[in-house]
Amino acid sequence: MNRVALMMLVGDRAKYIAIIMGIVFASMLITQQEAIFCGLMARTISAITDLGLPEIWVMDPKVQFIDDVKPLQDTQLTRVRGIEGVEWAVPLYKGMLKARLGNGNFQNCNVLGLDDATLIGGPPIMIQGNIADLRRAEAIIVDEVGARGKLAKRELDGTSVPLRVGDTMELNDHRATVVGICRVTRTFQSQPVVYTTYSRAVTFAPQERKLLSFVLVKAKPGVDRAELCDRIRRTTGLAARTREEFKWLTIGYFLRYTGIPINIGIGVIMSFLVGTAIAGQTFYSFTLDNLRHFGALKAMGASNGRLLGMIILQAVVVGVIGYGIGVGAAATVGRVFSRTELAFLLLWQALAITGGAVVLICILASVLSIRKVMKLEPAIVFKN
């Protein structure tokens, strides 16, 4: 009977392909929207992700997300270092500074100032140069996307020349020399990322009474991080969050105060409804065209349960094929545009959600067909 069900399914090639294409369209768009959403959220926490060594971030209690920098007094670094359970604590400067390019144009850059002694928090991947080169005079390291894009030199004929090691630029009217090119996670604003030492970063930055952005902390072996965070809060009055807590704090801010969830959610819902409509209508039409065959099977003694199993098998087959093609197409699109500004991060959770949506589409598409077959009279096969 299963073979008969499959022969019925592929017998009408046009409707068979139409059903699959409806599910392909829905699964591809749902997966793509979910991957774009995950990619955008990953970019909001790119600085936290790239600074993987520190386990705890210490900050002003009113900080709402990673770019909401509220500077601290430099003395807070010493206080944190003196707390029991802290293996080391280093300063971090994070700010948006204006770079002046060779052609006179200005470009905002995300500047990260690392601890002069240890350079903890440096770029995860170096393409050219070495992170130790930051100890040279006027040294900076620039991310490769910024070097090829917004920081590239523009020639008179309009061509773009990527920023290279040895080139110079101005950061807030201070000369800076590129000593390395790195690869980092793209930021939410897609601004170039510049690394330098902490002492040089506070020199580049506009002079203020407070310039310490964050204190990065590593707990001693065996010390519970949540307990250490609580100890830092009680001792200093500052907010202390683990890396994961700070990530979710940042993501939560963008979920609450931006239109990203609504915009992506509408796209997912529309994709689901369109896929359901196409697959459901085509599957119902397919069932109507095969009522005689179902009637003949019923007349030969096939039970309603057996016919129900045949319809479910048909729905499962088109669902699996459509899901595989749709998810594969979405992943291919993400791969092709991986070097562009497209924010695309495909997680297994997104694949699971898409799989659940496809199952629901198949259920909804087969419900009307199942009802029609359940009410079918075997005598229909003897009519006309």
Mean of the pLDDT values across residues 44-73?
Answer: 92
Q: Which residues of 360-383 are buried (b: 16+ CB within 10 A; e: fewer)?
A: ebbebbbeebbeebeebeeeebee
pLDDT at 380 over 60: no
When pLDDT is cut at 50, 70 and 90, the band that residue 224 belongs to is very high
Which of 237, 271, 303 is a domain's end point? Answer: 237
Does residue 57 lie in a domain region?
no
Does residue 107 lie in a domain region?
yes
Residues 22 and 154 in one domain: no
pLDDT of residue 293: 67
Does residue 152 lie in a domain region?
yes
Query: H/E element holding 79?
Result: helix 75-81
Mean of the pLDDT values across residues 313-322?
Answer: 84
Does residue 100 lie in a domain region?
yes
Mean of the pLDDT values across residues 243-255?
Answer: 93
Q: Give bridge partners of residue 181 from the DSSP assignment.
A: 128, 142
pLDDT at 365 over 80: no
Does residue 246 lie in a domain region?
no
Residues 282 and 360 in one domain: yes
Does residue 50 lie in a domain region?
no
Listed in order, strand segments (DSSP E) in the chain are 56-59, 86-100, 106-114, 125-128, 139-143, 153-154, 160-161, 168-171, 174-183, 193-197, 214-219, 239-242
Mean of the pLDDT values across residues 121-132?
Answer: 91
Residues 233 and 276 in one domain: no
pLDDT at 382 over 60: no
Residues 326 and 359 in one domain: yes
pLDDT at 379 over 60: no
pLDDT of residue 336: 87
Spatial distance between the Cα atoms of 271 and 206, rounded to a whole number of angstroms: 48
pLDDT cut 90: percent of the chain above it: 39
pLDDT of residue 81: 93
How many Å separate Cα 373 from the centre of its chain?
44
Which of 206, 237, 268 is a domain's end point? Answer: 237
Residues 189 and 286 in one domain: no
Sign of the alpha-carbon dihedral angle for 103, 96, 49, 27:
negative
Query: Residue 283 has which token pair?
Result: 């599957």
When pLDDT is cut at 50, 70 and 90, the band that residue 378 belongs to is low
Does residue 254 lie in a domain region?
no
Q: What is the dihedral of CA 346, 36, 45, 167, to 10 degrees?
A: 100
* Greatest mean pLDDT range, 173-177, 212-216, 315-319: 212-216
Residues 79 and 39 in one domain: no
Neighbours of 218 (CB within 10 A): 18
pLDDT of residue 315: 80
Residues 223 and 88 in one domain: yes
Say how many domains are in the chain.
Answer: 2
When pLDDT is cut at 50, 70 and 90, the band that residue 48 belongs to is very high
Residues 364 and 276 in one domain: yes
Mean of the pLDDT values across residues 87-115?
Answer: 89
pTM of the predicted structure, to 2 decimals: 0.83
Contacts of 344 (CB under 8 A, 6+ apart): 32, 35, 36, 39, 333, 334, 337, 338
Does residue 185 lie in a domain region?
yes
When pLDDT is cut at 50, 70 and 90, the band that residue 143 belongs to is very high
- What Cα–Cα distance (Å) separates residue 28 from each residue in 32, 35, 274, 329? 6, 10, 12, 6
Residues 193 and 271 in one domain: no
Residues 222 and 105 in one domain: yes
When pLDDT is cut at 50, 70 and 90, the band that residue 294 belongs to is low
Residue 291 belongs to what domain range?
2-43+259-382
Residues 88 and 224 in one domain: yes
Which of 205, 237, 269 is a domain's end point? Answer: 237
Residues 271 and 230 in one domain: no
